[in-house]
Structure 1
Amino acid sequence: MVEFTVKYEIKNNGNDIELHEIDANELATSLLGISNLLEEANSVLDVGSKLSIKVRGSFKPGSFIVDIASFYSTNIIQTVFNSGYEIGVIASVVGIVGFVHSAGNGIVNTLIWFCRLTKGKKILTKKPVGNDTSEVYVEGCNSPIIVNNLVLNLYEDKRSRQELEKTVSPLNNEKILDITFIVDGKEQEKILREERDYFSYISNETIEESEDISSFYITQANFDGKNIGWRFSFGDSSISQNKSSDFPVKILDEKFLKNVSTKKEIISNDGTAIIKARYKRTTHISEKLVTNWEILEVLGTVDSPKKYVKLELDDFN
C-alpha cells in the first residue's frame, strides 16, 4: 500500500478559526467533497485500484488544518505513469485533481487549474493534438487551451465537478480567505475566495426538446439577414403583438434570411409581420431553467392579420 498525505488548510480573517472553530456543516461538506472527488476521479480514470481516504485534524492560530491521507495499492503508480502523466511528488489521482503541484510545460495537467483557466465555462470544441492531450475552446475565450485528456475527462464528468464545488464551498463564507493544500510542508495549491465561482458546476442538461408548426408575430427583426436579433410572440391576433410576451429566437432557415437581407422578403418596420414556421423548442437547466427557440423553416409570411387568413386557407390547407 502507498500512503500519500495532503494537508488541507482553511484560513480566515475572523476570530472563529483563531479559536479553532469552524462551522461543522461547512467543514463536513468540504471534506465529503474531497473524499467523493478523489473516489470519483479514481473511478473515472479507471486506474484499477481502490482509493480510501482518512482524515486527521490539527490546528494552528488563524487556520484550521486537516490531513487528508489517501491509500493506494502500488500498481496505481505504474498505471498512471504508463498513461503518460507525471507528477513531481507522486503519480496519483490526487495530482490529477490538483491537490499537488504539477509542472505542465504548456499543458494543463490538473482539474483545479483547468477550472481556473476556463472559469467553469462550457467547452465549445475539442480535438486531439497528441496521444494524451486535446485542444479545447470554451465560452468567452478566443484562445485554445491544451489540456491533459485525463483532466478533460474529469472536467466533463458531472459528479467530479459537483464534488469539486463542494470542496471549495467554505469559500462562500465571507470570512474564509482561501483553502490551501500542502505536502511535506510545501504549499502545492491555493484556491482564493475570489476564485470560488470558477469551481461552480452549472448543469446544461436538456430536459425537454420538441418540434412543431405554429404562427408567430415578428416583434423584432434583423434586417441584415443574420440568424440572431429576432424576437417573436406566439399567435396570429392583435394580442400577440404585445412585446411583453415575446422571446428571442434563432432562425436557421438560410433561404429566408437571404431573402430578408436582399429585400426579397419584406418585413414591416413596425414589427407586425406574421409568419407560419416549423420550430424547435429546447428546455435545459443552466443557472436556471432556460428555453431556447429555433426557427427551422419559415413556411410563409404576411404583413397583416387579414392577409394571414387568406394565406392560412390558400397555402396551408
Structure 2
Amino acid sequence: MDDDNMKLRVVYDGPALDNNEMDVRDLAPALLALSDVFDEAARTIYGKDVRISVKVNASFRAGSFGVDLIASSSFTQHLINLFAGNAATATCNIIGLVGFGCVTGKAIKKGVTQFITWINGRKIKSVDPLPDGKVRVTIDEEEQIFDLLVLELYQNYKLRQSLERVIFTPLEREGINNFAVTLDGGESFVSISKSESILFKVGSPDDRKISESVTEKALQLIDISFNEDHKWRFNDGTSTFHALVSDKKFISDIDSQAINFAKGDILLVSLKITQYLQLGGIKTSYEVIQVKEIINPARQIDLPLEE
C-alpha cells in the first residue's frame, strides 16, 4: 500500500468570523463533506479501491477562520501500475480535478469548481471530445477546455451534494461571505464568494425513463379526485395505486354528467405504465389514457336463453 500527503488550508471569511471563531455545527459538517468530496472523486477517477483521507494537521490560523488539513490517498501497487502513475501525484490529481488547486505551471488546474462557476447556470450548447483526453465545452459563444474527468465529476450527484455542503451551506449563514482553499500557504487561493456560492446548490437529478408500456386493464375505483391533477386511486386485484386520468372525453363526460359511476365500479381502461430510474431505486407511474367501459360489479344471473 502506498500513500501520499498534501497540505491544504481551508478558509472561511466574513464579519461573523472576526474573532477567529466558527460554530462547530457549521465547521464539522463542512469538513466531513470535504472528505466525502475527495473520496467520491477518488472512486470516480481511480476506482472503488482508492480512498482519500482528510485530517486536521494544525491549530486554527489567525485571520478569518482557517484550518490546516492533510489529504492523502492510498491504493495498492497494482493500481499505481495500471494507471501509469505514482502515489506522489494521486492526491494532487484528485484535488486539481475537484478544482481546489495543484498549480500547472503558473495556472491553477481547472476542475469542477471552475466548471460550475464558468457555466453560471447556463445551458451547454455542445461538448466536443479532443484527442488528449480533454473536451471542448461551448456555452453561448464561449468555449473552454476541460479534462473529460471534470465532466464526470460534475455529473456525480453524491460529489455535488458534498460540494454543496462545503461551499453553499456555510456561506448561506449570515456573516460568512467567502470560502477559499490554498495549497501553498496563502500565496494563491481558489476562492468562492457568497454570490457565487448559490451556483453550488444542486437539485435532484432528473429521473431517467427506463421502460414504458400500454396494456388493457380492469381497475376498480377506490377513490375519486376531481382536483385538476385527476389522480385517482385504483385497485387492479393485486395492488392499490394512484393513476393520472388523462382521457379528455371521459373527463368531459363526467363534467357534463353524461355518464354515472360510483366508488367500487370497475373501469376497463388502456393503462400506460412508465418506470423511471431515480435516486434510491425505481419509480413507477400510472396513467389511464382511455376509459373503454364502465362495469357495475354487482353480479347478475344470466337469463336462461335458448341456444
- The alignment's TM-score, normalised by the length of structure 1, stands at 0.58
Q: 1:204 touches 1:284 (CA, 8 Å); kept in 2?
A: no
Q: 2:7 touches 2:69 (CA, 8 Å); kept in 1?
A: yes
Q: Which has the larger radius of gyration?
A: 2
Q: For residue 199 of structure 2, what is the aligned residue in structure 1? A: 198
Q: Matched residue pairs, number?
A: 234
In the aligned structure 2, how far is the partner of 1:93 from the partner of 1:12? Answer: 28
In the aligned structure 2, how far is the partner of 1:42 from the partner of 1:132? Answer: 18
Secondary structure of the 2:18 match is helix
In the aligned structure 2, how far is the partner of 1:96 from the partner of 1:124? Answer: 22
1:145 offset after TM fit, Å? 4.0
Q: 1:80 touches 1:92 (CA, 8 Å); kept in 2?
A: no
In the aligned structure 1, how far is the partner of 2:116 from the partner of 2:190? Answer: 13
Secondary structure of the 2:46 match is coil
Q: 1:204 to 1:239 in 2, by over 3 A?
A: farther
1:136 offset after TM fit, Å? 3.8
Q: For residue 29 of structure 1, what is the aligned residue in structure 2? A: 29
Q: For residue 114 of structure 1, what is the aligned residue in structure 2? A: 115
Q: Which moved more, 1:66-75 or 1:5-14?
A: 66-75
In the aligned structure 1, how far is the partner of 2:174 from the partner of 2:69? Answer: 24
Q: For residue 229 of structure 2, what is the aligned residue in structure 1? A: none
- Give the partner amino acid of 2:176: I
CA offsets, 1:56-106, max 9 Å, x none? 441314x11111211235979x779958xxx9xx84311211111545999
In the aligned structure 1, how far is the partner of 2:120 from the partner of 2:146? Answer: 14
Q: 1:205 touches 1:284 (CA, 8 Å); kept in 2?
A: no
- Give the partner amino acid of 2:157: K
Q: For residue 162 of structure 2, what is the aligned residue in structure 1? A: 163
Q: 1:212 to 1:107 in 2, by over 3 A?
A: farther
- The alignment's TM-score, normalised by the length of structure 2, stands at 0.59
Gaps of at least 5 residues in structure 2 are 216-245, 256-269, 280-284, 291-307
1:160 offset after TM fit, Å? 1.2
In the aligned structure 2, how far is the partner of 1:124 from the partner of 1:212? Answer: 35
1:89-100 alignment to 2 at 5 Å?
A: 91-100=92-101
Secondary structure of the 2:199 match is helix
- Give the partner amino acid of 1:60: A
Q: 1:6 touches 1:67 (CA, 8 Å); kept in 2?
A: yes
Secondary structure of the 2:197 match is helix
Q: 1:73 to 1:107 in 2, by over 3 A?
A: closer
Q: 1:21 to 1:116 in 2, by over 3 A?
A: same
CA offsets, 1:134-192, max 9 Å, x none? 23456xx4645432012112111121111111111201113111011112222330011
1:7 offset after TM fit, Å? 0.5
Give me the identity figure in percent. Answer: 23
In the aligned structure 2, how far is the partner of 1:133 from the partner of 1:163? Answer: 25
1:28 offset after TM fit, Å? 1.3
In the aligned structure 1, how far is the partner of 2:106 from the partner of 2:154? Answer: 20
- Give the partner amino acid of 2:9: K
Q: Which moved more, 1:101-110 or 1:28-37?
A: 101-110
Q: For residue 5 of structure 2, what is the aligned residue in structure 1? A: 3
